Amino acid sequence: MLVDPGLFNGRLCLLSLLRLTDDVFVQNTLHDPHNISVVPLFRPAMLHRPAVFDCKRPSCTLGSTALDLVTELLVSHLRVGYPLEFHELSLGIVHRILAYQKNRCIRMSHWQMLFNAMLSLMRFLLSHESKFSTSIFPLCFRIIIVINLFLTFGDTFLPSGEAYDLLYYELVRQDSVFTQLNAAVERRIAKEDKNSPDWEMAERVRNHLANPFNIVNTVKAKIEEKVEATGEDLQPDQIIDLIRASFETLSLRLYDGLTTVAPYDDSVHIPFFLLIATSLQNEAEKRKITDGVFDYPRSHFRLGSENLVLIQ
């Protein structure tokens, strides 16, 4: 069976990073403030920029680098042919890192690009829904979970109170994407049977849209009231002042699964792990490698729940 090397390596890299962020002891190392370094990142060409190998990044923890890497992946791979599974794995990595940072009160620095990347991804999915062979709602649900983590606990891991205010401003400014998502959800709920997985997932997405709509409706009402009183359009800093004044009256839902992530279930990727095992075994048999300890042609592979083990 022919396997695309790019897809194979991409899936392997994302799964490896997902498993690393699934381990709290590894996360301790990734966020160790005494273990900072400069890790260059490749940024592929897009319409507004040429390809560049960014070697001038500031020193930061490996956890911050991992977030920057996944954010870049989300930003630069908004293509119909790109596997939705890769986006889901990327968001799983983001969710695990942010949950860890929230629980440890670790401040993140580059939050705006990540937040906007998630909104751009959701807008892209909704605009091209008919072109995907599988439902987009599981991925939209993953995005909404992370957005709700930002909205309800962002004050514990965003760099400052001003950043938290700006987060709400961005939410209100880009509220159309939530309206689009809600419309798509309503169409799916009306179309599907109540016992179908698609109906259940669409209903979960609709339920988790309560916080974004609550914020948008509250702030927009204050904006309209202010504009009506003054007769002038408001500037961004004036809107942010209204947002600050709205915090005391806002009531947000605390959803399950925001700060705790279910452990990764490797059963979903057993065929992929078996493919790795078969590939390694075939390569070993071709090379007829014998090192005196393991006779690889006579070895076989056991697929465990935690990893692949080469045994005699």
29-62: pLDDT as tens digits: 999 999 998 988 888 888 888 888 888 888 999 9
- Averaged pLDDT for residues 229-245: 92
pLDDT band at 284 (very low <50, low <70, confident <90, very high): confident
Categorize the per-residue pLDDT at 312 as very low, low, confident or very high, splitting at 50, 70 and 90: very low
Select the more confidently predicted residue: 292 or 55: 55
Category of 105 on φ-ψ map: left (φ > 0), alpha (ψ -120 to 50) or beta: left
> Average of pLDDT values for 278-291?
72
In the three-class reduction of DSSP (H, G, I as helix; E, B as strand; rest coil), residue 140 is classed as helix
pLDDT surpasses 70 at 231: yes
pLDDT tens, residue by residue, 109-160: 889 999 999 999 999 999 999 999 899 999 999 999 999 999 999 999 999 9
Is the alpha carbon torsion for 165, 169, 170, 171 positive or negative?
Answer: positive
3-state secondary structure of 303: strand
Q: How many CA atoms, within 13 angstroms, populate the side-chain half-sphere of residue 70?
A: 30
Those residues whose C-beta lies under 8 Å from the C-beta of residue 255, and which sit 6 or more positions away, are: 145, 148, 152, 208
Backbone φ and ψ of 37, nearest 5°: -160, 170
Entry pTM: 0.87
pLDDT at residue 286 is higher than 80: no
Residues of the chain with pLDDT > 70: what percent? 91
Q: What is the mean pLDDT of residues 168-178?
A: 97
DSSP 60: E
pLDDT of residue 289: 53
- The mean pLDDT of the chain is 88
Strands 300-303 and 60-61, by their bridges, are unpaired
Query: Long-range contact list for 73-76, CB < 8 A, 24+ apart?
Result: 74/114, 74/117, 74/118, 74/120, 74/121, 75/46, 75/113, 75/117, 75/120, 76/43, 76/44, 76/46
